[in-house]
Amino acid sequence: MKIGTMLFKTIAVLTLSILKEGYAVPCTEPGLTMCVCRGTEIYCEGLNLAHIPSNIPKITTVLSFQVNQISAINATSLSGLTSLKRIVSSTYQCSTAFTKGVPLERQNTWHALFNANKISSIDADAFSDLQSLELLLLESNKIKSIDANVLSGLTSLKTLRLDYNDISSIEDGAFSDLRSLSKLSIDRNNLTTVSANVFNKDVDLRSLSLRGNPLVCCAMADFFEWRPSQNNITYSSGDCTDFNSTTDINSFNVSKCPIDGQWGAWSAGTCSVTCGNGIRYRNRRCDSPPSSNNGQDCIGSSTLYVLCNSGVCTESCKGSGKKPESKRMKTRKWKSYQYRQLNRRGDTRNK
């Protein structure tokens, strides 16, 4: 009896020690037995997984599925994981081996690999339940664009890495929920421009990296106007090209960019006649904005002539400016005239 009690206590102490010290052990949850668990952290790495594992415990704080074959993050893949703080889906700091019984912080297994996932599709609101998430790594995938609602709900996110994808566009408002964002890296993609409109208006970045993108300086005018507002950036990197030269994004002078002229609104104009067919004359100006710095002038005509009709003219109002009588008014006058004529003859049958 004493031996059994002592054995039970020993197992309990070892279990608590594993959870406390953060030892890596095989996961026991159904569907996750091929993964490695460390307390509330789950590592499913280098397993050729085609989908994000199911049955992820709601108390999970770290989820890593680096170096797999995952091609999509669906709207329900991460639902309910409100305690999640870190997601890793890239080759960055990839741990592919665990020494049994040794805490992860004592293992020298963090290293970069060349194989990664194949994520090309992320559903809108896929991260909407992850309000506690602080770190999201999605490097070395096949993401082509960041749509406006893909990252919605990530209000606590501090670090976002999207390096080594195929991103060519980021929609306005794509980072609008990321008000806590401090580190953003989108290196080695296909971006030609980044607009200030993608960010939350209150964001306070500390690090911004856009290296290795074919950025066009003058296509980023609003970005360069917004950039000085980020007073706390300690690291900013990237180049853009314009005027047959390459310039660091931290030193480009946007004021020298050509501005193409844009037409203002058409004037209402007035019809040339008060009745009958006429012509309405309308005009517009190239002032919204006007061209400058050798920008192109507005293309098209500044004047427009359109037909107008102010109603049928009658003999009595031609040239007088009077409005022509309507057909109904003419009918009423004719009936009144007939009634008066009948009364004069003493015939009241048609009263």
CA dist., res. 247 & res. 66, Å (int): 35
| Cβ atoms of 15 and 34 closer than 8 Å | no
The pTM of this model reads 0.68
Write down the residue that tokens 């015939």 correspond to.
Answer: 347
- pLDDT tens digits, 267-315: 988 888 888 888 888 999 999 989 888 888 999 999 988 888 877 887 6
pLDDT band of 128, cuts 50, 70, 90: very high
- pLDDT tens digits, 213-222: 999 999 998 9
Q: What are phi and psi of 196, to 5 degrees?
A: -65, -20
CA dist., res. 323 & res. 271, Å (int): 14
